[in-house]
Amino acid sequence: MTRTGDPLFDMFVTRALGLVTRGGAETGEVEAAVERVRPGDTDSWYAAWAGIAELVAAEGEASLVRGHRRSAAEAFWRATTYFRTSYQPLFGKPVDPRLTAAFARERECFSRMARLSAPPVVTVEVPYEDTVLPGYLCLADDGNGAPRATLVSVNGYDSNIHEMYWAHAIPAVRRGYVSLLVDGPGQGQPLVEQGLSLRPDWEAVLSRVLDFACTRPEVDPERLAVTGWSLGGFLAPRGVAGDARVKALIADPGQWDMMAHFPKELTERVADGDTAELGAFLEPLATSPVGRWKFVQRALWVHGVDGLGELVLDMARYRVSDVVDRITCPSLVVANENDPVSEQALRLHDELPGPKTLLRLPRGQGYDSHCQTTNRSGYDRLAFDWLDDVVKP
């Protein structure tokens, strides 16, 4: 497999390669970018990936000018991935202007792909407080125009709606579902361009998304399902609690209270509120390049805090335990043995009061990545077969 020799960079290379399966990348283009990267050098990383992205986007433009809409759409789709990959190591505050620029190009390329797509991918805006949240309504092309069962997707820490299109929308639309992709506060455009931080009470976000979904004639309001991947495996269960409109939930992977991932000696000190002491517990986790990216660059920015101690205090507010007794819809809880984020999946499953299924993904069957990014097809078969039985697309 293509590698740079840098653990942080290789994490993003693996992620980009996953999109090869649905046309979101090509191995040769990924290799061409990687060849230009020097380990540990974010400048060379950004230049390499942004360069490939611009090249592929220009190819899409050339095809479009000549009237080749499908070729153009495919190129814009791949350029979307490469622009996103270019800025991933740059996550953090203050926001690097290269990140802002690459995100704008990513969004532009995806929008151009969406306008050329069949079945249709419709740009939407979801009213939220005093602003709007960006989204896409991806339609099933069955020709009858009837309202369809709809899968609403909830994102995680560092993905966005463009990557969720690959993970959720493509398999959903293929099976006859409408797919609604929306980024909330702390994700995608709301984070990068609107400066909105993540919030623990995701019901305040998801309820607005569901309100919007129910206004669309393409959506059957009696067959709404919600899926969340990565941190969305926490946010989605939190968001659906007490909302009778949701007929099915998929948590991938299932998660419990955020502090359940940390040692007891840390959780016992949260009540004291000593940020210096709390931050000292996290510092060893943030010493490696990958750890620093996750805890210092990504988490501080997404949570809207300035230090590791403040981060601990904020993470302590993220609790499913407060609302789990109100999650009554049929639920599929994913527990991937290869994914450390799954360590609390069984706890969520056991605490759910409604109908529930635990989907165990064992080692040795290709599910060896976070959220099954190296085997989404295998995962989709299991998850959508379950969903088909519950909501009948």
Q: Which of 123-137, 232-246, 319-333, 361-375 has the lowest mean pLDDT?
A: 361-375
List the catalytic residues.
230
The Cα–Cα gap between 337 and 366 comes to: 11
Report the pLDDT value the prediction gives residue 357, as an integer from 0 to 100: 98
pLDDT band at 143 (very low <50, low <70, confident <90, very high): low
pLDDT band at 271 (very low <50, low <70, confident <90, very high): confident
The Cα–Cα gap between 250 and 205 comes to: 17
pLDDT band at 142 (very low <50, low <70, confident <90, very high): low
The Cα–Cα gap between 371 and 210 comes to: 24
Torsion angle (degrees, nearest 10) of CA 299, 81, 140, 253:
-30
* % of residues, the chain, pLDDT over 70: 99
**Per-residue pLDDT at 1 exceeds 70:** no
* % of residues, the chain, pLDDT over 90: 91
Rounded to two decimals, the pTM is 0.96
Integer angstrom CA distances of residue 306 from 31, 94, 95, 267: 36, 11, 13, 20
Report the pLDDT value the prediction gives residue 346, as an integer from 0 to 100: 97
Please state the separation of Cα 225 from the chain's center in Å.
17
* 40 φψ region: left (φ > 0), alpha (ψ -120 to 50), beta (else): left
Using DSSP, state whether 227 is helix, strand or coil.
strand
Query: What integer is the mean pLDDT of 355-362?
Result: 96
Please report how many Cα atoms fall inside a 13 Å half-sphere around the Cα of residue 39, on the Cβ side.
7
Domains of the chain, residue spans: 1-117, 119-257+318-393, 261-315
CATH top class, domain 119-257+318-393: alpha beta
Backbone angles phi, psi at 281, to 5 degrees: -70, -35
Report the pLDDT value the prediction gives residue 282, as an integer from 0 to 100: 92
Report the chain's mean pLDDT, rounded to a whole number: 96
**Per-residue pLDDT at 156 exceeds 60:** yes
Tokens representing residue 39 in the block = 């380990």
From 287, 293, 300, select the one nearest 42 (Cα to Cα): 293
Backbone angles phi, psi at 205, to 5 degrees: -90, -55
* 92 φψ region: left (φ > 0), alpha (ψ -120 to 50), beta (else): left
The Cα–Cα gap between 320 and 57 comes to: 42
What pLDDT, in 10s, does the model give residues 316-330? 999 999 999 999 999
Homologous superfamily (CATH) of 1-117 is acylaminoacyl peptidase (1.20.1440.110)
What pLDDT, in 10s, does the model give residues 7-61? 999 999 999 999 999 999 999 999 999 999 999 999 999 999 999 999 999 999 9
Structure letter (DSSP) for residue 292: H
Backbone angles phi, psi at 153, to 5 degrees: -100, 140
Backbone angles phi, psi at 138, to 5 degrees: -100, 120
The Cα–Cα gap between 107 and 90 comes to: 17
Q: Which residues pair with 332 in a beta bridge?
A: 250, 357
User: In 268-374, which ranges are continuous DSSP H helix?
Assistant: 275-282, 289-292, 299-303, 308-315, 345-351
pLDDT band at 368 (very low <50, low <70, confident <90, very high): confident
